[in-house]
Chains A and B, each alone.
Chain A
Amino acid sequence: MTLLAAEGLVKRFGGVVAAKDVSFALDPGEMLAIIGPNGAGKTTTFNMVGGQLRPDAGRVTLAGQDITGIPPRAVCRLGVGRTFQVAQTFLSFTVLGNVQMALIAHHGQTRRLLADAAALHRDDALALLDRVGMAAQAARPIGELAYGDVKRVELAIALAAAPRLLLMDEPTAGMAPSERSALMALVAGIARTERIGVLFTEHDMDAVFAHADRILVLVRGEIIARGTPAEVRADPEVQRVYLGHSGTRAAERAKRAHG
């Protein structure tokens, strides 16, 4: 059954058409990548799915339920976790506190006036941090972490919502290459074992071709190609407008590594 479906999404900013008739579907446990040059409309598409932006036209459905234009908090409560291109965390909190806060919100406890927030959901939060390999840093203020580590914590925050769907806008931006593949492997593992659908964007073609089940190629707001990594790799149009030389090489490397 389809987990997420986008149908004919359109978004304009003044004269710029950031998304033009964007449609795709995503199954549980599937990793769907959106690739495209800067300004292609990837983040805009994420924001229309996650509720940060209301599409000018089109529909978004989650497991058959229409979620078009509902606010992010409601999208989250339906089981959607989100990470942002520029990591969004609670800077005054510790690493652990960030995940605890997400769990407090997930359990609908944000209006409790007398409980001690620092004592709530400690173990669950630590377990989530452990999954992303950040348990050892739990007590540190998040502002002290390296950016790549912040991105991992952001993943733990997103997982706190017990999501069916993860939206990850450039999850590995700012990480060292070795860290990148480790993080993508981690996400892919979680997606497969827990049957979570993952929609992600990446500028790192190695990560995309190694881990995506399917790929959408977005250029100037339009999907110009879609399919399995092999199909996208072979598409001459994609090679011409986007992948170019380096992208093709990354695709070849990925093919050798898997083949």
Chain B
Amino acid sequence: MEWEFLLVQALSGLASASSLFVIASGLTIVFGVTRIVNFAHGSFYMLGAYVAVTIVPWLLEFDRSPWLFFAGVLLSALAVGAMGVVMEVLLLRRIYRVPELFQLLATFGVVLIVQDLVLLAWGPVDIPGPRAPGLRHGVDIAGQRFPAYELFLIFVGPAVLGLLWLLMHRTRFGVLIRAATQDREMVGALGVNQAMLFTGTLFLGAALAGLGGALQIPRVSANPQMDLSIITEAFVVTVIGGMGSVPGAFIAAVMIGLLQAFGVLVFPKITLVLVFLLMAAVLVVKPWGLLGRPEAAAGRAVLPEGILDPGRLDGLTRALVVVAVAAVLALPLLDAYAVKVGTEVLILALAAFSLNFLVGNGGIVSFGHAAYFGLGAYGAGLLVVKAGLPMEPALVAAPIAGGLAAALFGFFVVRLSGIYLAMLTLAFAQIAYAVVFQWVDVTGGDNGLVGVWPSRWAASREVYHYMVAAVTIAAIVLLRRVIHAPFGATLRAARDSAQRADAIGVDVRMHRWLGFILAGAAAGLAGGLYAFSKGSIDPTLLGIPMSVDFLSMLLLGGIQSVLGPVAGAAAFHALKDFFLPLTDHWRLFMGLSIIAMVLLFPRGLAGAWASLRRRPA
């Protein structure tokens, strides 16, 4: 390879790094002040691009000058900043004190809403943007042509870094941002100014995301998938750099930009995997990222959000369980459609239960549980389709696949806690997704594989339903038993106080790892059953939306309850099944529902049931 070629490759890496930094800096600033990881940051980026492809061409009608182009870009950024203000005022200021998991879900609700609104406003077709006047030519660099606009982008990142530095050190607003990032207590002392600070921070953060999006329009068309693809990258940058650290985000963005530019030469298909491996490696050595600082422990002990005392089932709840099981067994008396939905509910109930084993019982907020579900499905499906094995051994392989993946990823995950842990689980799920998506020869890529059918004896919907009922109910009963057993109690103890658990002789990391593997295996089993119920597998089984579905089931059911997630899975799937065909705006509906749940009903169905039970007769 010629050095000229490497130089150009490095320059294009720096250009991507620059764009990535502009976006990630906003995310990290917002996190530093509000302590909320804002999923909707990717939506702001997407909105920046859409607003820009709308107003920039309009401005260029007047005069094709570079100044109008950049005025349009800046205007788009400001408009998106204003949307950030709307989000802060309407949503965020109501959820600063709720548990992290609910914050993540609520901001994801905004992602869903924005996706549908963008489709409504701009339609599903990609919209190409205008090229930047004055920067459309190529520049000769060591004999190679390099686009002038890319060269310009390289300078945008450092310029934004410099401007942010000035803002942070030379203005009162910036000084407050830094103070709030470093010291939580200080924010409380601000009083009235706190609201201003938080609103202003959201304006800044959203405007940076919007700027990042608007600057992209000469390079990529505005499209409705921009939000989720950028948000994972921005997460990775902020986590590697250290949440809340702007210089850290800059360093991380440069690392990732260069890694991608050169990684693509060596491993063309798995650059995404390289990026996530870098993140895992950094977090193992520096659990709070390159320039991040450990979150100071809360001064006062607070009750954990999750299962408190697993307790015994009271009479009425027991009766409810009996009725539910009877209903499951009686479904084949209704029509085939009811059987199909019932089978799916059982499978999702197992997946949700296994997730709450981590979240509710262990305080391990996994944002990528679909990875283990999906890998279980692929483990089983590939054995059937590619190796020609029958259903039975494939269903044994499913929990093994899920468990092995959980063992591998969990080894890194359990070293972290809180928001870093959630981000890492998400990142690992994206790795798994990328591998399945890109390894077309084996997995069938985007299309997936068909022909994952049950053995002959279980081929009828009804028999398969009864088999699924037997397996999932047995698995749920067993997992519930584990929650009551010393192992489950140990996970709760470690969640309540890792320091105390350590001091009584518990290897906290080891127990969390084993718990992660057990939950992964259970999710894998559910995934295997799901593959046979559908007859096919495809990458959406591992995607972020699937993980969010599982978390929504917990939210709906109630994470503080042992059996709540089962009810949540049933209610969620039944609702989805009912409404999805009726509306073109399922995401809008779902996003609004998630937000409403977080705001009004955070203890879910189990909470409602418990308060009903407590009410004097």
Q: Which A residues are closer than 8 A to B by beta carbons? A: 50, 52, 71-73, 76-77, 82, 84, 86-94, 97, 101-102, 104-106, 108-118, 120, 141, 143, 157-158, 160-161
Contacts and interface: CB of A to CB of B under 8 A. Distances in A.
A109 B500 contact: no
* Secondary structure of the A contact surface, majority rule: loop
Interface in B452-496: 481-482, 484-490, 492-493, 495-496
B304 interface: yes
Interface in B484-524: 484-490, 492-493, 495-497, 499-508, 511, 514
Interface of B: 301-304, 306-309, 481-482, 484-490, 492-493, 495-497, 499-508, 511, 514
A88 B497 contact: yes
Given A72-B503, A161-B505, A112 B485 contact: yes
Contacts of A77: 505
Given A77-B505, A101-B504, A110-B506, A92 B303 contact: yes
A73 to B, nearest CB: 5
B500 A89 contact: yes
Given A90-B496, A93-B493, A113 B505 contact: no
Contacts, number: 120
Given A116-B485, A117-B486, A143-B303, A73 B507 contact: yes
A143 B481 CA distance: 25
29 contacts: A52-B499, A71-B502, A72-B503, A73-B502, A73-B505, A76-B504, A86-B301, A88-B503, A90-B497, A90-B501, A91-B302, A91-B303, A92-B496, A93-B496, A101-B489, A101-B490, A101-B504, A104-B486, A104-B489, A105-B504, A105-B505, A106-B504, A106-B505, A108-B505, A110-B511, A113-B485, A117-B485, A157-B504, A161-B505
Nearest to B499: A88
Closest 10 CB pairs of A and B: A88-B500, A117-B489, A76-B505, A90-B496, A110-B490, A92-B308, A72-B502, A105-B504, A112-B486, A105-B505
A113 B486 CA distance: 7
B493 A101 contact: yes
B476 to A, nearest CB: 15
A135 B48 CA distance: 63
Contacts of B502: 52, 71-73, 76
Given A91-B497, A105-B506, A114 B481 contact: yes
Contacts of B489: 93, 97, 101, 104, 117
B426 to A, nearest CB: 26
A241 to B, nearest CB: 29
Given A91-B303, A94-B309, A111 B503 contact: no
A243 to B, nearest CB: 29
